Structure 1
Amino acid sequence: MKLMFLRRWFSLQWSFQGKIFAAFGLITLLSIVSVTGIVYVNMRETIKHNAVTSVSDSIRQADESFNIMLEEIDRLNTVVVTNKNTVIDTIMSPNEEISYEWFQEQKRISEFLSGLVNYKPYISRIAVVGLNGKVFFTGGPWLDRTVLGTPMLNYMLLNGSRHAYFKPEGTADAITVGREIRYNRETVGIVMVDLDYDFIKKTYGVKPTADSMLYVLDEQNGYVYQPESTPTSFTPSMETVVQLKQKLAGQGNAVEQKINGKSYIVVSRLSDYTGWTTLALIPLDSLLSESTRIRNLMAEVSIIVFIVVLIGSHQVSSRTTLNIRRLRSMMMQVKDGNLSFPKLEITAKDEIGQLYRVFISMVEELKRLLEGIRISEKKKREAELTALQAQIRPHFLYNSLNTIKYMAKLNGVPNIEEVSGSLIELMRGLLGNSNEFITVREELDYVFSYISIVKYKYMEPIQVHTEIEDDALLECRVLKLMLQPLVENAIMHGIGPSGHGGYVLIRVYEEAHDLRIEVTDNGKGMTREQMDALLGTAGTEETPSRFSSMGVRNTHERIVRMFGDPNGLKLYSEQGLYTKVEIRFPKLQRAEESDQEVI
């Protein structure tokens, strides 16, 4: 069973149906793979582009929201540092703690600060710290004069000419925004506002996937915000995040980067207001997990579609080649010689149907031709039998004519002797010489033998003259019995009917490397219609010759058929004056040349 299947498969491969099936399958496979691949790649790129766009927009919105809060805090700080009566005078006041005046000042500045931060939930504390040790604040946590000399206060004093942003190392609860308080061109204190870190986490809580990470770094490459790490999550080192920040500073806002062997899309944004850099790390595996599932689904669907197309293409190719197989079966029977095979009707109107009808007509024509050949062969065998029965051996005919010639000589009848001798020479040329080409000299001898026979038919003498331009032309090769029909026609139809004799001039000369022969008589001449009829150009029957088996028209056709135009015969005549036949013929000097021309 398996062997039969393999045989059928290999035969199908090399058949026309197999080629159609393979072509359908290959085109379908390439189409499915191409479409699936293009869709999958475009889908991946679209997902990555949408993720980058979404994260970039989210980071931009978070940065803008955060900047709004910072701008409002900066305005609050500006209000504080420019308030002389409540803030600066209180800081510069000589009143000591635990005094009535100090309590009044504490109450007044606390109410002022509370009024500034009311209804601002993102501010956890606002404080005014004098360099003289006075500390006023509202909110939490607690703050006292121990803040003096701390790194945070020193940073504010160093960078707070306008605004300073500080996040204490190792803490994750606040970011402090401060500004120095100046009086008489001297720094007298610091106003500080702490942002609630929960608001920062909510603002930067951008997570396109569950394992995405977002970092905010200040200008000193310190963390302003970083995601909370879990035991199962991967957290890049501070050095890696700083390197990414520096790398993206010159490459745009989104790149693909491998971190610890894992691919990430890294999106960055630099805040023009704070100078902070926001970095978002999105794992490609998590981002494209849905595309992987869709890819697998597309692969399964593609396989199912490919199988269905293969089955359909097999059916289509089988139905398409059915008529071809029928036509092939009929052709094989014709090849085996069976022309009466049963015809499998093909009614299709397509090219196969047209081919079937042409093939049937060709078979019918072949049958007709074979029948014609059969009839022709039968007639040929009958003709051969008739020719065989009617054939007289040449030596028997020669002996009989020689006997007549000898008896005429014995009885003193020279004219019969002459006619018998001339007839012997003609018969020897006709029956004894099988060559198609002879010399001009031999052809003229046949003509004079013919004249010797036919002159006794007429009462008046008929003179035949020859003009040879060069004796070497007598050795040129010409077609056998080419001149005799022309001379015969001149005597029988030109001179003979006049009843008063005449002459025939045969002129042989060379012109333009061709052999030219002219046969001119002084007979009654011919009309144009008679000349056309003689050469067969008017569609009339050939004028028969009484001796030669070939007439004037046959001579012309033999020359044209063998050597082509413009060779052949041309007729010139005037009634009552003359008729001239001009023969144009290639000059052939050796038998080898004539044989080559015949081939």
Structure 2
Amino acid sequence: MKLSTLRRWISPSLSIQGKIFLAFSLVALLSILSITGIVYVNMRDTIKSNAVTSVSDSIRQADESLNIMLEEIDRLNMVVVINKNTVIDTLISPSVEISHEWFQEQKRIEEFLSSLITYKPYISRIAVVGLNGKVFFSGGPWLDSTILGTPTMEYMLRNGSRHAYLKQTGVAETITVGREIRYNRETIGVVMVDLRYDFIRKTYGVKPTADSMLYVLDQQNGFVYRPDQTPSFAPSDQKIIDLKRELAGKGDVVEKVIDGRSFIVVSRQSDHTGWSTLALIPLDSLLSESTQLRNLMLEVSVIVLIVVLIGSLQVSSRITINIRRLKAMMMLVKDGNLTFPKKEIKTKDEVGQLYHVFIGMVEELKRLLEGIRVSEKEKREAELTALQAQIRPHFLYNSLNTIKYLAKLNGAPNIEEVSGSLIDLMRGVLGNSNEYLTVREELDYVRSFISIVKYKYMEPIVVHEEIGDPSLLDSRMLKLTLQPIVENAILHGIGSREQGGFVTIRVYEEHRDLMIEVTDNGKGMTSEQMELLLGGQGTKTTSSRFSGMGVRNVHERIVRSFDEPYGIKLYSEPGLYTKVEIRIPNLRGPAGSEQEVS
């Protein structure tokens, strides 16, 4: 392959194929980098989150296990301090050592203490130490009156009003739990229970990584537990104490840099003992496996990118052939040639689909152009046929005028009124060739119609007119929009009522649109009747609210003339009312001139 051919294929400034190849390459590169970065970051966060969750759960479980043992020891101490016959009476007894009474007391109290720690392997010794020098214990190591005056005894007397915890070192490391023994409001001794330190080691042996560290500190910043072996980079005791003070035992999880090394620090404070637990996890050792996985992901990404680049060259070459064909056909359509010779593209990929969409669009365009021409012609013909009279029935006007004149001569004002109203109504409908009328003229037609039909009913027809703004009477609207609505309201709404029927016509402006509401208090309609009335799919019944033709005609004329959202909306409650809401543009200007929307 020549270098010039390859350059022509992949150069974005010379060919579409080059642009496609460049786009594919950039998208693939960005995608691979983004996915690799997101996966690596999420993996790091997941590893840290899992480590924190694991350590937190382990610390919580260790704390709960220790609390269970300490609570059990507290209960044992309570049993001892409230036992008067065996413990208190023995401590205050005047008997001295190496006497028969002393031996009896010693046997009784040591049997009592031994029974308390039976089947409790985590307790190494329980002891009762009187301030008078009497010492009784069960378990080991040996204990005598030399404990009096020691720091341990002083600590227990100072803090043992309820319970005191102290870690002791020496022959055997233990956790000592003590409590004062009081009689007559005076301290007469203490009870001390030693918890085996091996149970502390097992309980707090939490190591998410080989070089992680866990410390337990008491409220005096003494180390209750520390790992037996620590790595060379382990922080000093003072830094652990400072870290405990900084976190204040609130159960925080933070990342800290100590001596130039990053750690995840998990802290927890026990509600029972007040001890603080600190777990330090080196971040580099925790994430060592993620670093190896990151390098592997980078290697895979490079291989995938090379494969994608090779594939994009092949794909772009096949795509551009059909794109050129499609472009040639589009240029013909651009020049107005809708009957161009079609070069069929048989592929089923996106370009093939685009070809079929384009051909369909051209066919639809030809159909729409023909439809627009026919629709416009039919629209004008239908509107002229429905709204304009092509014949001037002068003989009918003359006949009606004669009837009106004779009714006046014979004193029949009702016949005169009906014939006069009919003349005005026919002259407006048949004699006025304008497509638009003012609201005032449309209301005049309504009044003429009411003057005719009111003689069909025993009760007078009450029609209220509410005009929000008198200037709206000069707004223009489609001819014969309002009269069919009022006709249906009278004939099919209040016509069935014996009395009390009325129709309200309200004219107002809303959002720069002309709104006309026709409301009657007739028998109302169901939702199916309203849907059928506007051309829906409702079920047709014999008790239909309207004949349907008048309202549907008005709605279709408005929508055809002004498009959505203009038209008619119906609101009704059966047995209560029906409201027809007409929304049309607020048109201003004289008849026959270009309409202006206010």
Matched with 2:295 is: 296
Q: Check conservation: 1:176, 1:194, Cα contact below 8 A.
A: yes
Instruction: Measure the CA separation in 2 of the matches of 1:150 and 1:190.
Output: 13
Q: Secondary structure at the match of 2:55?
A: helix
Matched with 1:376 is: none
Pairing of 1:573-584 with structure 2 (within 5 A): none
Pairing of 1:208-219 with structure 2 (within 5 A): 208-219=208-219
Q: Check conservation: 1:323, 1:346, Cα contact below 8 A.
A: no
- In the TM superposition, residue 298 of structure 1 has moved relative to its aligned partner by 2.0
Matched with 1:265 is: 264
Instruction: Measure the CA separation in 2 of the matches of 1:119 and 1:307.
Output: 70
Pairing of 1:93-172 with structure 2 (within 5 A): 93-168=93-168
Q: Secondary structure at the match of 1:192?
A: strand
Instruction: Measure the CA separation in 2 of the matches of 1:351 and 1:57.
Output: 59
Instruction: Measure the CA separation in 1 of the matches of 2:31 and 2:129.
Output: 75
For 2:44, give the aligned amino acid: R
Residues 443-465 of structure 1: CA distance to partner in whole angstroms, max 9, x if unpaired?
A: xxxxxxxxxxxxxxxxxxxxxxx
Q: Secondary structure at the match of 2:246?
A: helix
Give the gaps of 5 or more residues in structure 1. 329-344, 359-599
- In the TM superposition, residue 348 of structure 1 has moved relative to its aligned partner by 5.4
Name the CA shift for 1:324/1:122 in 2 (closer, same or farther; >3 Å): same
Q: Do residues 82 (structure 1) and 82 (structure 2) align? A: yes
Q: Do residues 35 (structure 1) and 35 (structure 2) align? A: yes
Match of 2:10 among 9, 12, 37: 12
Instruction: Measure the CA separation in 1 of the matches of 2:179 and 2:249.
Output: 32
Q: Check conservation: 1:211, 1:233, Cα contact below 8 A.
A: no
Q: Check conservation: 2:217, 2:276, Cα contact below 8 A.
A: yes
For 1:56, give the aligned amino acid: S
- In the TM superposition, residue 63 of structure 1 has moved relative to its aligned partner by 0.9
For 2:83, give the aligned amino acid: N
For 1:110, give the aligned amino acid: E
Matched with 1:307 is: 306
- In the TM superposition, residue 19 of structure 1 has moved relative to its aligned partner by 1.7
Pairing of 1:62-77 with structure 2 (within 5 A): 62-77=62-77
Q: Secondary structure at the match of 1:273?
A: coil
Q: Do residues 249 (structure 1) and 226 (structure 2) align? A: no
Alignment RMSD: 3.0
Instruction: Measure the CA separation in 1 of the matches of 2:264 and 2:353.
Output: 60
Q: Check conservation: 1:216, 1:279, Cα contact below 8 A.
A: yes
Q: Secondary structure at the match of 1:321?
A: helix
For 1:12, give the aligned amino acid: I
TM-score, normalised to structure 1, is 0.53
Instruction: Measure the CA separation in 1 of the matches of 2:158 and 2:59.
Output: 30
- In the TM superposition, residue 100 of structure 1 has moved relative to its aligned partner by 2.4
Residues 96-150 of structure 1: CA distance to partner in whole angstroms, max 9, x if unpaired?
A: 2222222222211111111000111111111111111111111111111111111
For 1:8, give the aligned amino acid: L
Name the CA shift for 1:295/1:353 in 2 (closer, same or farther; >3 Å): closer
Q: Secondary structure at the match of 2:168?
A: coil
Instruction: Measure the CA separation in 1 of the matches of 2:250 and 2:40.
Output: 27
Instruction: Measure the CA separation in 2 of the matches of 1:85 and 1:6.
Output: 110
242-251 or 232-241, larger mean C-alpha shift: 242-251
Q: Secondary structure at the match of 1:167?
A: strand
TM-score, normalised to structure 2, is 0.53
Instruction: Measure the CA separation in 2 of the matches of 1:85 and 1:194.
Output: 24
Q: Secondary structure at the match of 1:162?
A: coil
Matched with 2:315 is: 316
Q: Secondary structure at the match of 2:281?
A: strand
Matched with 2:189 is: 189
Instruction: Measure the CA separation in 2 of the matches of 1:130 and 1:250.
Output: 36
Pairing of 1:375-454 with structure 2 (within 5 A): none
Q: Check conservation: 1:323, 1:352, Cα contact below 8 A.
A: no
- In the TM superposition, residue 196 of structure 1 has moved relative to its aligned partner by 0.4
Instruction: Measure the CA separation in 2 of the matches of 1:24 and 1:316.
Output: 10
Residues 334-382 of structure 1: CA distance to partner in whole angstroms, max 9, x if unpaired?
A: xxxxxxxxxxx9855758998xxx9xxxxxxxxxxxxxxxxxxxxxxxx
- In the TM superposition, residue 295 of structure 1 has moved relative to its aligned partner by 2.0
Name the CA shift for 1:145/1:327 in 2 (closer, same or farther; >3 Å): closer
Give the number of aligned pairs. 339
- In the TM superposition, residue 5 of structure 1 has moved relative to its aligned partner by 4.0
For 1:313, give the aligned amino acid: S
- In the TM superposition, residue 294 of structure 1 has moved relative to its aligned partner by 2.4
Q: Do residues 179 (structure 1) and 179 (structure 2) align? A: yes
Q: Secondary structure at the match of 2:19?
A: helix
Q: Secondary structure at the match of 1:220?
A: coil
Give the gaps of 5 or more residues in structure 2. 328-342, 360-598
For 1:237, give the aligned amino acid: S
Q: Check conservation: 1:47, 1:288, Cα contact below 8 A.
A: yes
Q: Check conservation: 2:250, 2:269, Cα contact below 8 A.
A: no
Q: Check conservation: 2:270, 2:276, Cα contact below 8 A.
A: yes
- In the TM superposition, residue 326 of structure 1 has moved relative to its aligned partner by 9.8
Name the CA shift for 1:299/1:17 in 2 (closer, same or farther; >3 Å): same
For 2:162, give the aligned amino acid: R
Instruction: Measure the CA separation in 2 of the matches of 1:353 and 1:200.
Output: 74
Instruction: Measure the CA separation in 2 of the matches of 1:352 and 1:12.
Output: 25
